[in-house]
Structure formats: C-alpha cells, structure tokens
Amino acid sequence: LGVTAPLLFVFKDSVPKNVFRRMPETLTYRLARPMLLADMLLKVTGLTYLVRVFSGGLLRLLGRKRVTHSLFGHEALASVVAEGHAAGTLTLSQRDMAHRVMNISRVRLTDVLCPMDRVVSAPPDESREDFLRQIHQHDYSRLPLIDPEGQVVGVVDVYDVLQDDVGKPIAEWMVDPLVIPADVNVIQALYTMQKAKCSLAIIDEGGKHVGIVTIKDLVEEIVGELEAW
C-alpha cells in the first residue's frame, strides 16, 4: 500500500493533469468521442447505476448527504474557470471567453443590435450613382433598403452592384431581409442566420424594425472584439 498509493497518485492524477495542461485543445478533440462512448457503455451495462448505489450506501454509512445539484452548473463552471486561470492553465483571453460563453444565453439581440437611426442604408429608389458614392464612403458589404416608414424592404449585396455592367436599378438587386424577433438570445439568432445563410438580419420588436445585427456582431459576443472579418 505504501508503494501503490504514491504510484496511483503520480500516474492517475499528476501525470494526466500535466499532460492535459500542455495540450488541452488537442486532447479535448481526441478524447471527446472515447469519453462519450465510455459514458454510453457505463449506462448500458448498468455500471453507472451500481456505482451510484454503492456511493450512496457509503455516504449514508459516513453520515453524509448525496450531492444532488449539477456539477456543471454555472457557479461550479465559474469556479473551475477561475481555478484554471489562477493555475496558469487558462490564459486571460481564454478565461474571458469562457465567461462570455457561460453568460451568452442571457444576452438578447437588443443588447447587441445597431439601432436603425445609426444604420447606413439607402432608399429603394436610390440612383446607382448615389448608391456607389455611399458604399465608397462606408466599408460595408451589404446595405439595407429602407422605406419612408423606416421599415427594411430588402438588403443589397454591394458586390452585386459593383460587378453589374448593365446598370440595373438598385432595387432589382435587393433580396428579402431576414427578420428575427428582438426577444431571442444571441445563440438562437446565430443558429437562425447560419441556417438561412444570411450574414445580416433585421431585428423586429412589436412589428417595428428597431435595428440590425450581423454574424460578426453575434460571434464577437463569444470570442470578443474582431478587428478583421
């Protein structure tokens, strides 16, 4: 026992932790499927149930209560992240990203959208010359077309207009806008935009268009500020 205990500590605790600290991303991807398979096998064979029964009986003998709350709750994860940063396993940027991911479900589109009064746009009857002049002043790949009531009637891809040799009216290049309710969170909006293959969405609140968001805006809520996109 005097020899086995130190060996178990070194090879089952210290070595795995230090190896994982050196290659966390690589090992996470490589071990994800084996860990999932092991979890499924433990459940199918009933070993998970036996371990729970055994540990529950042991805890009762020791006069302790079983922990019923999730080990992966928000507070537990926040504590793990803080410990990882303090130990040097996580960098400051990784810690901040982890915090943003844990809180992302609380972020609504109204928190990240660009309000309509700040949106660079054009009227549907904008001339080609005025439209080209405007896109040269602003570094955007898409512009919404807004009617006199302040509602977005379409979105124009700037590159379509720049590549047009015929000189078609701007309104003929517009496509129907993707409209998302203002009360959804960032993750739901990101999924909707990816599914629609749309990089710009109009945010609707009570039947009124209140702003726009881009894929870049939503991704930045997870990874932080992006200088290039």
User: Is the pTM of the predicted complex or chain greater than 0.85?
Assistant: no
Would you say residue 219 has pLDDT above 80?
A: yes
Identify the pLDDT of residue 65: 66
Residue 164 and residue 90 in one domain: no
Identify the pLDDT of residue 209: 95
Tens of pLDDT, residues 30-43: 888 888 898 888 88
Considering Cα of 212, then 215, then 217, then 219, what sign does the dihedral take? positive
The set of residues, in sequence order, having a beta carbon less than 8 Å from that of 92 and lying 6+ positions away, is 85
Residue 129 and residue 215 in one domain: yes
Would you say residue 194 has pLDDT above 90?
A: yes
Answer left, alpha or beta for residue 197, where phi above 0 means left and psi between -120 and 50 means alpha.
left
Residue 64 and residue 142 in one domain: no
In a domain, 229, yes or no: no
Q: For 46-116, where are the alpha helices, taking DSSP H only?
A: 47-61, 74-86, 92-103, 109-112
Residue 143 and residue 89 in one domain: no
Domain boundary among 79, 105, 131: 105
Residue 90 and residue 115 in one domain: no
In a domain, 228, yes or no: no
Identify the pLDDT of residue 143: 93
Residue 79 and residue 141 in one domain: no
* Bridge-based pairing state of the strands 114-115 and 208-214: antiparallel
Residue 205: which CATH number? 3.10.580.10
Q: Which amino acid is present at 187?
A: I
Distance CA 212, CA 201 (A): 6
Cβ atoms of residues 157 and 174 within 8 Å? no
- The contacts found for 202-206 with CB under 8 angstroms, 24 or more apart, are 202/144, 202/152, 202/177, 202/178, 203/109, 203/110, 203/113, 203/179, 204/179, 204/180, 205/110, 205/181
**Mean pLDDT over each residue of the chain, to the nearest integer:** 84
Would you say residue 165 has pLDDT above 70?
A: yes
Residue 41 and residue 88 in one domain: yes
Cβ atoms of residues 181 and 209 within 8 Å? no
Would you say residue 1 has pLDDT above 60?
A: no
Q: Can you give the residue range of the structural domain that contains 218? A: 109-223
Distance CA 28, CA 74 (A): 21
In a domain, 145, yes or no: yes
Tens of pLDDT, residues 50-105: 878 887 787 788 777 665 555 556 677 778 788 878 888 788 888 888 888 888 88
Residue 116 and residue 218 in one domain: yes
Residue 127 and residue 86 in one domain: no
Domain count, the chain: 2
